[in-house]
Structure 1
Amino acid sequence: MNTLVAPVLVAQVPTQSGSRYLQQLCKHWSHKFAVDFTPEQGMVPLPFGRLDLIAHPDTLEVRIAPTSPDVVDKAKEVVASHLDRFAFREAPLAFDWREEG
């Protein structure tokens, strides 16, 4: 039996506030999900897949491992809209989504 597995999506989002946005987003979702984060890295198990965030000095690395190909667009939209909400001073952030693998 073959099951379709969606590729991991990765975006390098230009911002010098990556750590702040990572922490705000993880705290926001910690009320609903078993979030694990530090100022440098965060992991959120969302209903549509796993979200990993890594703060670099000039970028926020956003990685989504979708549960299926059907949720790829929704995953990108939900994560981007939430990050834009916290980054309202510099939103909309530039997401250069690419497939890893």
Structure 2
Amino acid sequence: MESVAHVATERPARYLKQLCQHMGRKIQADFTEDHGKMVFPYGECELDARDGELVLRASAPDEDSLAKVEAVVGHHHLERFGERDGLVVTWQRV
């Protein structure tokens, strides 16, 4: 299963780096200036920094695992990191 979120931000590369560095303390997380990938035991998330947005692509083998990736990446981390900038993560199932 897969889902995608397009998060509007003027600083997509900054959030990509911050999220991957933070998560990399507990899971495998690799990143460049404009692309990142985080591998959880229950799924993964790829990140792409584009002009004016951070694109998140979550994938997992089942509905519950996908929901967990979405929650951890979106609500529990990225929205908190970007609270001052008003970041909102809205996932769309593919």
Interval containing the TM-score (normalised by the shorter chain)? 0.7 to 0.9
- Point out 4+ residue stretches in structure 1 off by more than 3 angstroms: none
Instruction: Report the Cα offset of residue 43 of structure 1.
Output: 0.3
TM-score of the pair, normalised by structure 1? 0.82
Mapping for residues 23-42 of structure 1, pairs under 5 Å: 23-42=17-36
Contiguous gaps of at least 5 residues in structure 2: none
Measure, in 1, the Cα distance between the counterparts of 2:72 and 2:41: 11
Correspondence for 2:64: 70
What is aligned with 2:54?
A: 60
Query: What letter matches 1:19 in structure 2?
Result: A
1:4 maps to what in 2? none
Question: Gapped runs of 5+ residues in structure 1?
Answer: 1-6
Q: Distance in 2 between matches of 1:28 and 1:50?
A: 15
Secondary structure class of the residue paired with 1:88: coil
The alignment yields a C-alpha RMSD, in angstroms, of 1.4
CA shift at 1:47, angstroms? 2.2
Secondary structure of 1:35's aligned partner: strand
Distance 1:26 1:16, change over 3 A: same
2:45 counterpart residue number: 51
Aligned pairs, number? 93
Deviation at 1:42, TM superposition (A): 0.3
Q: TM-score, normalised by structure 2?
A: 0.88
Larger Rg: 1
